[in-house]
Amino acid sequence: ETGVTQSPTHLIKTRGQQVTLRCSSQSGHNTVSWYQQALGQGPQFIFQYYREEENGRGNFPPRFSGLQFPNYSSELNVNALELDDSALYLCASSSNQGRYTEAFFGQGTRLTVV
Amino acid sequence: KQEVTQIPAALSVPEGENLVLNCSFTDSAIYNLQWFRQDPGKGLTSLLLIQSSQREQTSGRLNASLDKSSGRSTLYIAASQPGDSATYLCAVMYYGGSQGNLIFGKGTKLSVKP
């Protein structure tokens, strides 16, 4: 059983650029959620994907968008990067078979916007 | 507003001590509660998941309890070791709203001194 993997591990971008982060969910999991964690804070929910559709969204602007693929892997895209987007981005996978199971997280992608 | 609070923000103990980390939440209509461990700059490692119908869960030296009526959960760590040093995060999933969304506290940073 493979765990949740994220790529890349670190990324430096310039303000105004666009970025794509990737996540491979744990084997057997059909739900992927993305979180943003600023330094010293708890993770904040961005959105969740289930069966390739967005299934819930937190308080983030539309320039944060995502995709889920048939193999349940997922991408997080952020357009028009701002300095405040600098954070650790975490992907979590879980299984939704009528009820939510334990969430397992990847190691995160550290995004720095300069 | 659904919020999760963790007290204390930081804790330093000598090796071998038993300790308790606290988590409180504002809304008792929770679906489940999960405790995580986070090492500096890393992702989250799931420690224990408590469903809303359960009162406690145990794994090795860890025991987590849940009291929905008072809006509290505790994580008890027995015979602490330097390897337990990390930030411990509590996360709650609520019914309704963006279901599947975990709401996190800011964490308790634990340091176990040899």
Span A34-62, pLDDT tens digits: 999 999 999 999 999 988 999 889 999 99
* Residue of B31, B42, B100 with shortest CB distance to A108: B42
Q: Is the separation of the CB atoms in A14 and A56 below 8 Å?
A: no
Placement of tokens 């500096």 in the chain: B40
Q: How far apart are CA A44 and CA B107, in angstroms?
A: 13
pLDDT grade for B98, boundaries at 50, 70 and 90: low
Residue in chain B lying closest to A56 (CA):
B98
Is B2 near chain A, with CB under 8 Å? no
- What is the token pair recorded at B34? 């999960």
Nearest Cα to Cα of residue A73 among A15, A27, A14: A27
Residue in chain B lying closest to A108 (CA):
B43
Element (H, E) at A98: none
- What is the token pair recorded at B48? 């224990």
The three-state secondary structure class of B69 is coil
* Residue of B98, B106, B107 with shortest CB distance to A48: B98
The pLDDT value recorded for residue A19 is 98
Counting residues of chain B whose pLDDT is more than 90, the rounded percentage is: 80
Rounded to a whole number of angstroms, the distance from the CA of B33 to the nearest CA of chain A is: 9
Is B59 near chain A, with CB under 8 Å? no
What residues form DSSP beta bridges with B11? B110
Counting residues of chain B whose pLDDT is more than 70, the rounded percentage is: 96
Rounded to a whole number of angstroms, the distance from the CA of B91 to the nearest CA of chain A is: 9
pLDDT grade for B48, boundaries at 50, 70 and 90: very high
Count of alpha carbons within 13 Å of B48, Cβ hemisphere only? 22
Q: Is the separation of the CB atoms in B93 and B101 below 8 Å?
A: yes
Q: A26: which chain B residues are within 8 Å (Cβ-Cβ)?
A: none
Q: Is the separation of the CB atoms in A81 and A17 below 8 Å?
A: yes
pLDDT grade for B70, boundaries at 50, 70 and 90: very high
